[in-house]
Structure formats: structure tokens, C-alpha cells
Structure 1
Amino acid sequence: MEEVAEEVSVRIDDMVSKEEEQEREDGEGVEEAQQQTVTRNLSRMDSLEMEAGKISVMHGASKVLSTAAVMQLAFQSIGVVYGDIGTSPLYVFASTFSDRVPSKHDIVGALSLIIYSLTLLPLIKYVFIVLRANDNGEGGTFAMYSLICRHAKVSAIPNQQAEDDELSACTAKFPSKNPKRAKKIKETLENSSWSKTILLSLTLFGTCMVVGDGILTPCISVLSAVDGIRKMDAALSKDVVALISVAVLVLLFSVQRFGTDKVGYTFAPAILFWCLFIGIIGISNLIRHDSTVVKAFNPIYITSYLKRNPKEAWISLGGVVLCITGTEAMFADLGHFSVRAIQVAFTGLVYPCLLCAYLGQAAYLSNFPDHVADAFYKSTPESVYWPMFVIAVLASIIASQAMISATFAIVKQSMALGCFPRVRVVHTSHKHGGQVYIPEINFLLMFACFMVTASFRETSKIGNAYGIAVVAVMIITSSLLILIMLMIWQTSVAVIAMFVLVVFSFELLYFSSVLYKFSEGGYLPLTLAALLFFVMYVWHYVQSKRHAFEVEQKVSAEYLSGLGSNLGVARVPGVGLLYTELTQGVPAIFRHFLTNLPAMHSVLVFVSVKYLPVSNVPAEERFLLRRVGPEDHGMYRCIVRYGYRDRRVGSEVFECLLMGQLKSFIRAEAMEGGCREKAEAEEEIRFLERSCAAGVVYLLGHSEVRASKNSSLVKKVVVDYVYDFLRRNFRQGLVDLQIPNKNLMQVGMNYTV
């Protein structure tokens, strides 16, 4: 085993970068444990469907971070997570009273709503509840979906195997307070195809709304900050402000290729300074203008505000809700930090500074209510106006960065789970696998931001759209959280009922308000989400149907046995890696290759790259190896499992890893004794090495997917035109798999779905 590890390591040293080498080194330490485990499982290798290379090494509990490490992560999170919610004081009061001058009672009522919105949703719901619903430290909509899929077989991704349940990422233990209720819910979900569809649709729609958030955050943040330049010249038109904002946005998207580490972490001090700045100014305004606004901490003022003029108060909720923009980023960016770090940063810095900022603005507006349209800059003392303007622009850029990075991350997750067309993913951090840059998405986001800013030119209209995106994501998160409470956490019904009554109903009230302004900009995020949802659902639908077609058309065991050791063709030296989406059986493309090619390689490996609804698959658990057909056929199956945040290695590194795993598998097989002799195993390994030295060729099917003749008109349009357009205009499979063209061989094949 040590010789194998050394041989693979030497080859990697010559071929890969430091980044890829580090990933390889992470997997070498478990090779000996792997062989022992493989040996114990050989007694179950009596058919093609049985596993012959499973790893059973399990990870222990997550390492408890030291106080110093938590504080360091908390500091870093300030620059990545809290820029969005931290810059909301720029526009909340202006959006709340966009069409009227408020009275002092209105200001106190709106302030009370802001205080309890910040307390109920970001603080109580997210910081103390939602952060617990993470997927082994990863957050976001897909993380909640994967957590549910691990406890009930409701995944709409059609490649599940029993072995996947034994991954260390799938072994979390939860309380069994109400096992009967959890079992009943689990069975109901598993036996209903509608439940699976609805669950996937909720996840996809939540993802789409986060992308919409990623478009609107840069627009409203930068436009609000740049609007402060009108202090220099009050005659500056909104067109000029919009033009300057567009220039800032172009600069922002131009630096995305440098990655979150360089663009985000560098500015953590700026957001820290921003939070302290707005907090201190807020306290100053509270003392200087009207300290009586602190009575807004009494929730009775919310009731009086809503009763005094119900319709106007209800409409104003669409502006109040902007005080919690960016809340979802605390959960979506959790994988970069830790639960405790997020909690410390929000409760210790962001939350109190925001409260002080809103209290100060309300105190100023009590004396100058006609300044509500520009409450933030008007309430800023003249002596610190320009430093505040510079910090505000920097903070708005950083706020935009956080949501753009989150958009890249969720698009990668969607693509990994077969719900998004293939795009180029560039990993920008050696420390955090979730930090990625996607050039195509970056360009589309920049173009969308340019169009939104140039078209709307006012934060009030963008705020109408922004509110819908923010609240929609929160409602979807709450819906998935309720299911987790019922089935996984097994929370008492009384607690769940309280959550629904207080939190969920509060979010629904906000959502009804933001929908009121649908025609005044609110249509934008829903339109963008609907378009993106259509693309994602079409891609996933056709991919699922294509997989089902492959399962139906797979080669029978009888056909394979009847080919003989030469497979009916000449066997030439070399290793052929035939890529297939099937994880069970032999794909139909194999028979297609035999029909069209007069020769086949001496060693043939069916490779299935498989993404699972988990965040990460440890390197030692990545490979599953099996033997295909009789021993003299020289055929194997290799299932390579990835999580949605895992990074795929290049082709040359993969070849080295695969050969090392195959040698370990053959030796472990021989150690069982009886069916094979160790001498024969060593001869097979030498034959494998000679074949590898002769060259490795990648075999792919160039597929055309078409709707069947008896399909409906809608299905024909979706499959023959929409899906075909997406497939042709996004990255091809061979590029996504990082296969070199010089080693590629393709055979055309038609799929009918």
C-alpha cells in the first residue's frame, strides 16, 4: 500500500498545482484504513450491484473552535456577511414614507416596527434558530434541502444508492422525542411524488429569489450611497447620480475575478468602522434632537400606528421590511465561518449599532420630518459628512459583494445537483471551497444591474422590488424550517405553532404589503425569478428524463456475458474511461461504442461522476469501486462522489487517484483468498500499469435529446427547443469534466424522452 501511495504521489508532484496537491495529500492518510475496510466487505461482492470499495472511516464531531478563532472569524464575517443589512439605514425611512411627510407619531410607530423586525427576524429567527438548520456547517436553501433529503428519500435527483446513506455527512443523530410523528411525515413525503416536486420547487424558487437579491442589492446600495454626492451640487439630476452609480457597479463587477478573500475580507475594517460610525452618530442625534423616541421599544406604538391609518401603515410596511435586507446572507454564507462567529458578530456589533442608527434618524426626523426623503445624509453632522459619504460608498460596495458571492455559490450548488446548465466555475480561495467566481453569471449580473439602475434611477422603486425578493426568501426558509422542526428536530407542536403564529404570520404580513406595489417595481424580482426558475426546472426535468432513459436502455448482464473476454472486438493496450451517468448497470452507450468501433481498450472503467445533496464528501469516502462482468473482461466501475461545495480535480490528477484506488481494490480483493490468489492479483496490477503506460482515453457519448413522437406540444417545445438551446449555448460536458481534447473519443447517440 505504501508503494502505491508513493507512486501516485510522485506522479502528482509532476503534474499539478499546489492547490490540487493539497487535496491529494488529504486523501493519502486514509489509504491503509481503506484497504482494511474493503477486505471486510468482500464477502458481499456477489453481484454487479454490490460494493467492493467502500470506506467506512467516519468523522467525529465538529472541532470546537477556540475563543480567539471565533473572534477572528467574527471579525472576518463583518466584511462579508453584514454589509447588506448594515447599509439599510441609507434608505429605510425614505422608502417607508416615500409618498408623504410623516407625523411624529408615525415616525415613532415606524421606528417601533423597525426595532421589533430586527429583533424578531434577524436576531431570534436567524441567529438563534435558522443557523442550527445547517448542513454540516453549510447554510442556505440548498443546505436545508439536503438536510431534509438525508432524513427522507425525497430527493428529486435520480441517482441515490444505499451506500450514500453511510457517508459520514449523513450520520448525524437527532433527538427521538416524537418518533411516530417523524416517521409518519417521512412516509408521507416519500410516498408522494407531488411532495418531492413541491419541495424541489420551493428550493429552486428560493434560489432564484436569492439571485434576484444579488441583482437588486448592488443597485439600491450603490445608488443610495452615491446619492449623497448631491450635497456638493443640489442641482445634480437623478440621471447623473444613476450614471455615477453605473460606473461604480461596473468597477465592482470587474474586480469579482479576484475572489471573495481579496475583495471581501480586506474591507472588514471598513464595515466595522461603518457600524461604529452610524452607531455613534445615532446616539449623538438621539441626544441632540429628541431622546423621547426611545419609547418605541414599547410595542404598543406598533398597534397605535397600524390603527391610526391602517391602509397607509400597511403600505409603509414595504419600506420598513428593508431594514432586514441581507438577513439571508447570515445563513447563506455560514459555510465560510461558523455559527458562533455569526452570532457573536451580529449580537455584539451589528444589531446594537443598527438600533442606535435608526433611533438617531427617528430623533432627527421628529424635528425635521420634511427631510425624510434623505434622512440618512440629512441627519449626518456637517463636520463628518464627507468622511461618512466615502465610508457609505465603500460599505455599499462591500454589501453588494456579499450578495454577489452568495449568488455564485448557489449557482454552483444548483449546477452540481443537476438544476442549472453547466457554466465555468473558478475557485478563488484555497481555504474555503464555497468561494467561487463564475464569469458568465458575473456578466449577466452586471448587465442586469446596469439595466435596473438605468431604468429605475430611484431607490424607492428599486426598494419595492427589493422587498419582494427579501421577504419571499424568508418565507421559503421558514417553510423548510417548519418541516425540519417537525421531522428532524421533532420540536413540540406548541413551539412550532408559536413560530408559525409569530414569525411566519409576520413575514406573510410583510409579503402582502410588498406585493401591493407590484406594478411600481415589485414585478421585477418575480419576473426574474420566474424566468430563472423556468430555466432551472427545464434543465432538471430533461436531465431526469434522460437518466430514466439510460436506466431503461442499459445493457443486460446476459449480453455482457455473451461477448466473451474480448468483448467481440480487438483489445488494444490502454485504459478507456467511459463516462456515464448510470451508477447501476452498464450504459447503452457501451453497446453503441462496440457497434461503431472495431477495437476496445484492454482495461475499461465505467466512470460515474455523482453529486450528492450534501455539502462535502471527504476525500477518503469519494471513490466506490466495483468489478463489472467476469474477471477476464478487465472492466471496472468507479463512482466518484462529490458534495455541492466540493472542488473537482483535473483529469491527470484523477487518473493517478483512480489507478491508485484500483490497485488497492485488486489487492484487497485478493486478501480475501479463495477466489483469487495474491500472485494473480499482482499480475493484474502489472497489467493495469502497462495499460496505463500505453495511454488513457476518455470515452463520451455525444448525445442529442429529443421528445418522443407521442409527446405533447409543450413537452416537444421544452425538450426540442428550450433544452437544446441551453445545451448548445452553455458549457459542454467534456469541458465541465476537464477532459483534454487530445485524449477524447466521442460517439453520437440519440435519447428519446
Structure 2
Amino acid sequence: MALMVGAIGVVFGDIGTSPLYTLKEAFSPHYHLQPTHDTVLGLLSMVFWSMMIVVSIKYVAIIMRADNDGEGGIMALMTLAKRSLPRDGRSAYIVGLLGIFGASLFFGDSMITPAISVLSAFEGLKVAAPQLESFIVPGSLLLLVALFVTQRFGTEKVGKVFGPIMILWFLALAVIGVINIMDNPHVLNALNPYWGLKFSAKHFFEAIFVLGAVVLSVTGGEALYADMGHFGARPIRHSWYYFVLPCLVMNYMGQGALLLKDPTAVDNPFYKAVPEWALFPMIALATCATVIASQAVITGAFSVARQAMQLGYVPRMRIQHTSKDTIGQIYIPAINWILMFAVIMLVLTFRSSSGLASAYGVSVSGTMLIDTLLLAIVARASWGKLKYIVLPLCALFLVVDVSFLVANGVKFFDGAWVPVAIGITVFTFLRTWRRGRELLSAEIQKEGIQLDVFLPGLMLSPPTRVPGTAIFMTAQRGVVPHALLHNLKHNKVLHDRNIFLTVETLTVPFLDNRARAKVDEIGDDFYRVVLRFGFMETPDVPQALMRLADCSSICVDPMDTTYFASRENIEASRHKGMSFWRDKLFMVMHRNAAPATSFFRIPGNRLVELGSTVQI
């Protein structure tokens, strides 16, 4: 029960605030629909069955079975799909591109969700007090800025009240829905798919386009899978089936009942369904709910950024842990300020939830489409007889996802270009960093001296030995680190004990400490050490080295240890590697990335950095 309360507070914030704007957007002038009896029932039927097919069946019942050691999300699904394919094959490469583009679209979603959610909550002022309409945009900006500024304090204390507030929010949705349904119980006929099919047959082109609004009812469905590692599959499933879904359905039906009774309420059916005496309390509760939804997606952006960082797609950035007890609660300043700037620009540009709704659906439907393709690959390779049930369902999901994507693509010039541009930009940065690192590693490997050849020659006439342990950080296991060569050239000494250290990030979320380190003794007090970390972990190299005594004869004294690291200076070349502009972009990213030593928590007072120039 405690996990269910926590899941309701964190996981369902995005999808739980969708009733604020979904039906309002469906009846916007953009779609040329009137709130007639058949149209209202048809749209409600499409909303209900979209939630059933996309969220209840696709994500909750099926995709949540595809976990990577308990972790979910598009990066975990991509890893599972790649694991089922030949490692260096073209198909694995394409799957990697799909997963990274899906993650890029998620960052676009992380920018749009806070803007549209908070704006839609404040727009209740137009219903409760029309004279305050001019305060909607400034009030939204103030709240959003406050939200981002307070991120550095962490969400641990605030998170304790997230669950109860969201439970109150969903109960309020249900109560408002029931009050309006009692005035017109006939609206419950919309649960019958007949009305959705009838609407689609009668208004074929309108039905295709209006899916761009219907998809707003399932935004946040991917979050259920992404946050599975925090709460587990069962609490999320039970929360959705037995509490969240019924509350959402009752509210949508209540808004539909109001429109059947009073078609003039079409400009804001959510707030006009609220009794007049409860308007201001509901606006306050909606504001709290949208802040929680925004908080959840911002925290998700931090988590995805850390995973991408560990898998080598994002430059290393400074990570702050905001909780002593929960490793997943982190704060990444660079991501936070980028998101804040983007959200402010979106609010100032679109100035209403209806304007942002045009931009919102593309990133969501694009991510859902990629999830379906990755699910089909995983099911086909790993799910045995179950695949004969899942693969036909994937065909259904594919039809739904493509329909959503096409419907949102039609709104390209009305704002849908925004998430596409954000996704392409982020994707370019991620792929440039990954490819640049590969080229840099290849150049170092090509120009390097093989360790097995260098050390025997060095020990024929060894330099002076000095007390202590030297740890040379290197990404190439068999190559002499540049830092060692520079140390020998300039200082002409060698430490009593020398460790060549490589840090690897695996495609599993977490790793048992017993499998953390691999130690090979080379001879003459030289050792090769490989430390492994999961992609959800934050590497702490000094702490891991202190545990080497448990699995080897090496005992590393932190006060008697010096770390040596190379800091490469990149030069772009027009005749090799990537396009020249991408080389330049990689140079800028590399220059501004946090040093590996800081990322690995190497103490600055025990570190010596030596530079080298590499041309790519």
C-alpha cells in the first residue's frame, strides 16, 4: 500500500492532469467539431479506448514485463533489444539509433509537460475570475521558475506529501465526474466502442486529425514503465487498474455529460464541470497536481540524462545527490537550467495550453511508436510462446501509434515542429558525442604503445622508485596511458606500486559489489584493474578501490595514493572522422564536459592531470 501511494504521487502526475486540457483541445476551432450528442459520445469513446489499448494493455500489461533487472524506460528497453541482436550488426546499430532518438523526444516532452500543465491549471482563473486572465502567463512563469530554482534542494521532503495530494486530486476528479454523470447517465454509453467507430466512419478526416487531441489523454503512459524501478510493477499496475483509471474515466464522462447538457461549456469543460463554490479550491489543487506532474518529468529527465551519460551518449556533467538514503534522487544543474530556459521560452511563445497542445503530441506519439518497435524485437527474441500473443498486439499498437503520429504531424506548422526540432537537436548532440568519443579512443589506440611491449623494456633499466601507489586512469586497457609516459618523461620516477585503472559501464542498471572489480597482476608491482558499474549507478572510484582487498592482494590506502589522468585537447580535421562542423561541435562539448576525475569522484588533492593533443 505504501508503494501504491508513492506511485500515485510520482508516476501518475502527467497522465493524471490530462483531463485539464484533453476535451477542451478536442473541441478547439482547429478541428471544426461541434459538441453534438454523437460527437461527444464518439470522442469520449475514443479517449476511453485509447487509455485501455495504449496504457492498460500496452504499457501496464505488456511492456512492464520487459524489465532490465527491474528497471524500465526507453533506455532499458533499447538495451534489452540490442542484447537480443548480433552485437556489431546493422540491426543493433539501428535499434541504438531508435532508442537514442526516443530518449531525445523524451527531453522535448520534459520541456513541454511543465509548461502545458501549469498553464492549464492557471487557466481556471478565466472561469472563476475573468478579470484575472492577464495573470495567467505571469503566474505560470513565477511558479515554474520557483519549481526549477528549488530543484537543488531535492524532492525528498516534498515527495512525502506528493502521494496524499495526488490521491486527493484523483478523488476530486472522480467526485466531479460522478456529480455531472448523475445529471446525464446516458453519457456512460460512450464506454461502448460503437460510438467511437460510428464517429470515425461519419467524420473520417476529422477523426484522423482529432487523434492529435485524443493522444493527450495518454500522455504520461511511458512514465509508468520508466518509473517501474522505483516502485515495482505490481504497485503501479494495482494503482492504475483499481484507482487512477476509474477516477480518470469518471471525470472524462462527467465532462461529456456537462457538454450534452450545456454545449456552451465547450471552451473549458473541466473547470465548468466544477461547482461554483469549489472553483478556487479546485484551481489550487490543480496547480499542486501540475507542479507534481512537472516535478516527476523533471526528475525523469535527470534520470535519463544520467543513464545516457553512463552509456556514453552525453558529456559528463556534475551530479549532486539530494538524498542520503535514496541514490535515485539526483540533481544535474546543467540539465535543470536548460529545461528552465526552454520551458520559459515555450510559455512566452505559445501563452496558452491550447497553443502548446499542438506541440505536445508529437514527442509523446513518437516515443510510443519507438517503444512498440523495441517491444516487438524483445518479444520475438526472448518471450517464447508468449510472442505469439504479443506480436499480433504489437501490430495493433503500431496502427494506433502511427495514427497518433500522423494526426500530430498534420499540426507541424502550428507548433508540432517544436518537439521535432528539440528531438533532432538533442539527437545530434548525443550521436556527435558518442561518435566523437569513438574516434578519440581510436586515435589514442592507434598512436599508443602496447603495454605488454613497453613494460618489459622499461624494467630492463627501471627508473627511480618512490614510495606510494600511482593509479593511471585509462580507457584503453592494452595501451600505455599518456599520463605514465609524461610522468616518466618529466619526473623520471616510478611509484612502488602502479595500477592501470579502467572504468566500464555495463548495460545492467546495478551491479553486485562482488562483481565490481577485476584485478590482473602484470608483474614488478604493476596491476591492471577494471571497475564495473551499472548504468543507473554513480561511479565512486576511491570507494571501489578501497574494497579491492576483499577480492585481491591489493590494499589501496587513500592517503598514500596519487591519481594520474590525461586531459586531451581536441583538434578538428577536415579529412577524417565526422563532418567538420560535427568535429567542431564535439570540441566544444569535450571542452565543457566535466572531467572524468570529477565524475568518478577522484579527490582533487590526490590528482595529477597531464595534457595531450589529439586530432580527429
Describe the SS at the equivalent of 1:95: helix
| Residues 35-79 of structure 1 deviation map (CA, whole Å, 9 limit, x = unaligned) | xxxxxxxxxxxxxxxxxxxxxxxxxxxxxxxxxxxx210111111
| Residues 281-339 of structure 1 deviation map (CA, whole Å, 9 limit, x = unaligned) | 10110011x21111112211112111222222221111111001111111111111111
Taking structure 1 as the reference length, what is the TM-score of the superposition? 0.78
Larger relative contact order, structure 1 or 2 (CA cutoff 8 Å, min sep 6): 1
1:517-666, aligned counterparts within 5 Å?
517-556=411-450, 557-564=452-459, 568-587=462-481, 589-628=483-522, 631=523, 633-649=524-540, 651=542, 653-658=543-548, 660-661=549-550, 664-666=551-553
CA contact (8 A) 1:574 1:601 kept: yes
Describe the SS at the equivalent of 1:407: helix
CA contact (8 A) 1:538 1:718 kept: yes
Distance 2:299 2:601 in 1: 24
Distance 1:569 1:541 in 2: 38
Q: Which residue of 2 aligns with 1:256?
A: 151
> What one-letter code is carried by the residue in structure 2 that aligns with 1:80?
V
Taking structure 2 as the reference length, what is the TM-score of the superposition? 0.95
> What one-letter code is carried by the residue in structure 1 that aligns with 2:603?
P
Q: Which runs of 5+ in 2 are unaligned?
A: none
CA contact (8 A) 2:35 2:260 kept: no
Q: What displacement does 1:737 show? A: 2.4
The 1:446/1:693 distance shift into structure 2, 3 A limit, reads closer
The 1:710/1:390 distance shift into structure 2, 3 A limit, reads closer
Say whether 1:715 aligns with 2:609. Answer: no
Distance 1:705 1:273 in 2: 55
Q: Which residue of 1 aligns with 2:221?
A: 327
Describe the SS at the equivalent of 2:264: helix
- The structure that has the greater radius of gyration is 1
Distance 1:493 1:387 in 2: 49
Distance 1:542 1:535 in 2: 10
Aligned residues: 612
Describe the SS at the equivalent of 1:748: strand
Answer with 699-708 or 276-285: which moved more.
Answer: 699-708
Q: What displacement does 1:277 show? A: 0.9
| Residues 164-193 of structure 1 deviation map (CA, whole Å, 9 limit, x = unaligned) | xxxxxxxxxxxxxxxxxxxxxx4xx4452x
Say whether 1:98 aligns with 2:98. Answer: no
Q: What displacement does 1:195 show? A: 2.0
Q: What displacement does 1:532 show? A: 0.8
Q: Which residue of 1 aligns with 2:568?
A: 703
> What one-letter code is carried by the residue in structure 2 that aligns with 1:104?
H
Q: Which residue of 1 aligns with 2:353?
A: 459
Distance 1:693 1:481 in 2: 46
Distance 1:710 1:270 in 2: 59
Answer with 741-750 or 310-319: which moved more.
Answer: 741-750
CA contact (8 A) 1:204 1:533 kept: yes
Q: What displacement does 1:704 show? A: 1.8
Q: What displacement does 1:92 show? A: 0.4
Q: What displacement does 1:708 show? A: 4.9
The 1:262/1:575 distance shift into structure 2, 3 A limit, reads same
1:111-130, aligned counterparts within 5 Å?
111-130=44-63
Q: Which residue of 1 aligns with 2:40?
A: 107
Describe the SS at the equivalent of 2:601: coil
Q: Which residue of 2 aligns with 1:211?
A: 107
1:303-382, aligned counterparts within 5 Å?
303-382=197-276
Say whether 1:386 aligns with 2:280. Answer: yes
Distance 1:106 1:749 in 2: 68
Q: What displacement does 1:562 show? A: 1.5
> What one-letter code is carried by the residue in structure 2 that aligns with 1:294?
L
The 1:710/1:383 distance shift into structure 2, 3 A limit, reads closer
Q: What displacement does 1:464 show? A: 1.4
| Residues 326-379 of structure 1 deviation map (CA, whole Å, 9 limit, x = unaligned) | 111111111111110111111111001001000100000112222212110011
Distance 1:471 1:491 in 2: 29
Say whether 1:221 aligns with 2:117. Answer: yes
Q: What displacement does 1:136 show? A: 0.9
Describe the SS at the equivalent of 1:139: coil
**Displacement over 4 Å in runs of 4+:** 491-494
Describe the SS at the equivalent of 1:562: helix
Corresponding residue to 1:268 among 152, 155, 163:
163
The 1:118/1:693 distance shift into structure 2, 3 A limit, reads closer
| Residues 252-287 of structure 1 deviation map (CA, whole Å, 9 limit, x = unaligned) | 112222323323332210100110111111011001
Q: Which runs of 5+ in 1 are unaligned?
A: 1-70, 153-185, 667-684
Say whether 1:244 aligns with 2:123. Answer: no
Q: What displacement does 1:592 show? A: 4.2
CA contact (8 A) 1:264 1:402 kept: no
Q: Which residue of 2 aligns with 1:507?
A: 401
> What one-letter code is carried by the residue in structure 1 that aligns with 2:232?
S
The 1:81/1:694 distance shift into structure 2, 3 A limit, reads closer
Distance 1:407 1:496 in 2: 29
Answer with 323-332 or 422-431: which moved more.
Answer: 422-431
Distance 1:693 1:306 in 2: 69
Say whether 1:396 aligns with 2:259. Answer: no
> What one-letter code is carried by the residue in structure 1 that aligns with 2:99?
T
Distance 1:497 1:564 in 2: 61
Distance 2:309 2:538 in 1: 13
Corresponding residue to 2:95 among 172, 194, 199:
199
Taking only aligned residues, the RMSD between alpha carbons, in angstroms, comes to: 2.0
